[in-house]
Amino acid sequence: NSSAENLDIKGTITLAITITSFLFILSYSETDSLFSSSLIIALLTVGTISLFLFIIIERRSQSPLVNLQLLTNKTIISANILLVITFLTMFTLFQTIPVLVRSPQPLGFEGDATAAASIQLPFMVVFLLFAPSSGFIISKLGNIRPTILGSAISMIGLFSMFLFHSTEFLVSANLAIIAAGLSLAQVGGFNIVLETTPRQFSGISLGMTVLFNLVGGSIGPAIAGIYMQTHQAIVKGVAGSFPSPDSYNLIFLSLALASLVPLALAVFIRQRLAAKPLPSQLEGQSGRKDTRER
């Protein structure tokens, strides 16, 4: 019973309703029918009410799903936004690239499932290699510099993807660059959150970060789906319609512009921590002081 009481059931339900309403609004925003407009207004009303209820519940809950006090810390909220955008980018690419590969020419590469997997393979390989090594890099360079470097690399890769995605090789090469940047930024962002959070709140802080990342991972593909559904084209001799080149340009441009935010946030975090060190850094300084006194 005590464990059940510690579960924030009300907060979970209201948050689920809020997120679901927002995703449905994104999905129906591409249509102009009277029914869709009425449904969007109803969903917006439900989502807004649910959001306010969620905030009220979280303030009163003894074990909140989202600790609102932690979000008042500018470093924690900045690192969380950085991570949300990196996960949004990753899951959006996971959805977009297979559609691009399997669409018929000249709208896509007209490849099969194996070709789609092969083109995305460099992304997964680089991510697999960089994710474990990122921990080693961060242990040597700290959290801030790898996070800034990773944000810059992923930004370069995304702008390159926007400009150059006409061949399978270019898409694979850009995905590899993006994967290297995202892995560094994600590992650095998670470490910044954990080191900034007081130890007694480390568990709930990590849970909040994972929750926000999942939200970002669900919003990104929904936005990409709107672009692909709104901009359609027909290939002569092929039944049905497919996403046009404009849809991919809009998706990659949106991701490239969004990548500017993590870079700016990483620089902001560096400036903020330079003025106010992390708790772990303060503990290290205290330990060295005690050693000198002995």
pLDDT in tens, 241-255: 999 999 999 999 999
Q: Which three-class secondary structure state does DSSP give residue 232?
A: strand
What pLDDT sits at residue 247? 95
What pLDDT sits at residue 107? 93
Q: In b/e form, how buried is each residue of 141-167, taking b as 16+ CB within 10 angstroms?
A: ebbbbbbbbbbbbbbbbbbbbbeebee
Which residues, including other chains, have CB under 8 Å from residue 63's CB and lie 6 or more apart? 6, 7, 8, 204
pLDDT in tens, 145-201: 889 999 999 999 999 999 999 999 999 999 999 999 999 999 899 999 988 888 888
For residue 80, count other CB atoms closer than 10 A to its CB.
25
Is the CB of residue 243 less than 8 Å from the CB of residue 107?
yes
What pLDDT sits at residue 48? 93
What pLDDT sits at residue 33? 64
Which residues, including other chains, have CB under 8 Å from residue 187's CB and lie 6 or more apart? 131, 134, 135, 138, 146, 150
What pLDDT sits at residue 206? 86
What pLDDT sits at residue 157? 97
What pLDDT sits at residue 59? 87
Beta strands in 139-284 (DSSP E): 232-234, 241-243
How far is residue 292 CA from its own chain's centroid?
44
Cis check: omega of the bond before 122, within 30 degrees of 0: no
Is the CB of residue 87 less than 8 Å from the CB of residue 217?
yes
pLDDT of the chain along its 294 residues, tens only? Answer: 444 456 778 888 998 899 888 888 877 776 666 667 788 889 899 999 999 999 898 888 877 878 888 888 899 999 999 999 999 999 999 999 999 999 999 999 999 999 999 999 999 999 888 777 776 777 788 889 889 999 999 999 999 999 999 999 999 999 999 999 999 999 899 999 988 888 888 888 888 898 889 888 888 998 898 899 889 999 888 888 999 999 999 999 999 999 999 999 999 999 988 877 655 444 444 444 443 444
What pLDDT sits at residue 15? 87
How far is residue 107 CA from its own chain's centroid?
27
pLDDT in tens, 149-160: 999 999 999 999
